[in-house]
């Protein structure tokens, strides 16, 4: 009985680990595919929290001559 429970627990652990690895690899593959698709289609870059106004002001400040 003890040997059977041990084998069952090892089998369940192995299967759960395998499922988690497959899920993690699937998420990674989908993420990579999404990034590549976005870059290859020429989509505008995602600026995140940076607004267009802030970016314009930053560029204007950068183009001013320094003292």
Domain extents in the chain: 2-63
One pLDDT digit (tens) per residue for the chain, 67 residues: 667 788 888 888 899 999 999 999 999 999 999 888 888 887 666 666 677 788 888 888 888 776 6
Coil/strand/helix, residue 21: helix
pLDDT score at 30: 95
Q: How far is it, in rounded angstroms, from Cα 6 to Cα 27?
A: 32
Q: How many Cα atoms occupy the beta-carbon half-sphere of 33 within 13 Å?
A: 6
Tokens 């290859």 correspond to what residue?
40
């Amino acid at each position: 009985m003890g040997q059977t429970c041990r084998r069952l627990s090892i089998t369940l652990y192995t299967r759960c680990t395998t499922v988690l690895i497959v899920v993690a690899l699937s998420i990674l593959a989908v993420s990579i595919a999404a990034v590549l698709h976005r870059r290859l289609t020429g989509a505008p870059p995602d600026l995140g929290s940076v607004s267009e106004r802030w970016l314009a002001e930053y560029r204007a400040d950068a183009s001013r001559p320094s003292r």
